[in-house]
């Protein structure tokens, strides 16, 4: 896969919102994996629908809004993309929209307890389970992330409340995993044993740098916000083709707090990874 995003700049690891304005750029990212990713979404909606799609009552109009928004952005910025013609078989407008793009789609809705996850089609989760998140407020959803609510809970809530119609932003998350599977829910990852076949000789091909590109935008003048998530995988070996990337990643790992390393499951292969990165820098 082509190297798309590398959200590290060599500074110490820290939790940050890291928002960047999209301005006139598309909030969708289409690449040569499009057909493969859409096929996988169809499979997951067929085999694991209750785990990749969820909705609360009263969201149908917002789901239709998202479907129109996706259709318009594809027509404006990605006119060569031709979505499948069998979308009518899918009853949910949100799932229909998700089957047109590589992004996962999440509808966040303003509520007395803060913004809640009101509906979502998340076929490619990174270590979390949609069924546990639907209907929950953001601070509950973010509870497993060490330090996030204490440091960023209030700024995130404030950002959602103040997000202006027409403004689109993007941000990035990253991690290192022993699989490049797009579908990595929490139960799947936690049930996977340590891969004892990973050695210093093959770790460059066996460990993957997984990036989430996330975008946010308000749906018209409503209190609803569309949150999108797009996954990109590159092997550790691909990272290390560029010395600066290898150096930034090593520094990020070395300055990450212990509880965050545990949350990201890094201790499973941390010594092998850091040794590989150091070797790449010699």
Residue 15 lies inside a defined structural domain of this protein: no
Is the residue at 143 inside a domain? yes
Class of residue 17 by CB neighbours under 10 A (exposed 0-12, middle 13-18, buried 19+): exposed
What is the share, in percent, of the chain residues with pLDDT greater than 70? 97
pLDDT in tens, 234-280: 999 999 999 999 999 999 999 999 999 988 889 999 999 999 999 99
Query: Residue 174 belongs to what domain range?
Result: 20-280
Q: In whole numbers, what is the pLDDT of the chain averaged over residues? A: 92
List, for residues 179-192, the tens digit of each pLDDT value: 999 999 988 767 78
Rounded Cα–Cα distance for residues 134 and 104 (Å):
14
Number of domains in the chain: 1
Question: What per-residue confidence (pLDDT) applies to 197?
Answer: 96
User: Is residue 226 scored above 60 in pLDDT?
Assistant: yes
Coil, helix or strand at residue 235: strand
Residue 11 covered by a domain: no
- 209 found inside a domain: yes
pLDDT band at 84 (very low <50, low <70, confident <90, very high): low
For residue 140, give both structure tokens. 């509950």
Given a contact cutoff of 8 angstroms between Cβ atoms, the answer to whether 80 and 150 are in contact is: no
> Does residue 2 lie in a domain region?
no
Residue 8 in any domain: the answer is no
* E strand map for the chain: 20-21, 53-55, 104-111, 114-121, 168-177, 208-218, 224-235
7 within a domain of the structure (yes/no): no
Q: Note the pLDDT tens digit of each residue in 54-79.
A: 999 999 999 999 999 999 999 999 99
The answer to whether residue 206 is domain-embedded is yes
């Amino acid at each position: 896969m082509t190297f798309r995003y590398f959200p590290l700049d060599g500074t110490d690891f820290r939790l940050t919102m890291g928002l960047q304005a999209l301005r006139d750029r598309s909030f969708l990212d289409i690449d040569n994996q499009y057909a493969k990713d859409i096929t996988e979404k169809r499979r997951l909606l067929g085999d694991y629908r209750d785990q990749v799609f969820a909705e609360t009552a009263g969201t149908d109009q917002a789901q239709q809004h998202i479907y129109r928004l996706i259709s318009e952005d594809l027509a404006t910025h990605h006119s060569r993309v031709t979505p499948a013609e069998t979308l009518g078989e899918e009853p949910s407008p949100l799932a229909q929209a998700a089957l047109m793009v590589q992004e996962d789609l999440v509808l966040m809705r303003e509520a007395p307890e803060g913004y809640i996850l009101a509906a979502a089609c998340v076929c490619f989760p990174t270590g979390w389970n949609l069924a546990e998140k639907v209907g929950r407020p953001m601070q509950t959803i973010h509870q497993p992330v060490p330090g996030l609510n204490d440091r960023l809970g209030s700024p995130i809530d404030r950002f959602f409340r103040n997000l202006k119609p027409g403004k689109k932003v993007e941000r990035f998350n990253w991690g290192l995993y022993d699989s490049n599977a797009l579908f990595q829910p929490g139960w799947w990852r936690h049930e996977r044993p340590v891969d004892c076949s990973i050695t210093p000789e093959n770790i460059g091909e066996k460990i993957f740098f997984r990036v989430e590109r996330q975008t946010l935008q308000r749906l018209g003048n409503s209190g609803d916000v569309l949150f999108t998530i797009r996954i990109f995988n590159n092997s550790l070996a691909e990272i290390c083709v560029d010395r600066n990337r290898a150096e930034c990643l090593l520094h990020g790992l070395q300055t990450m707090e212990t509880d965050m390393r545990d949350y990201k499951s890094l201790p499973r292969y941390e010594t092998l990874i850091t040794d590989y990165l150091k070797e790449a820098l010699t």
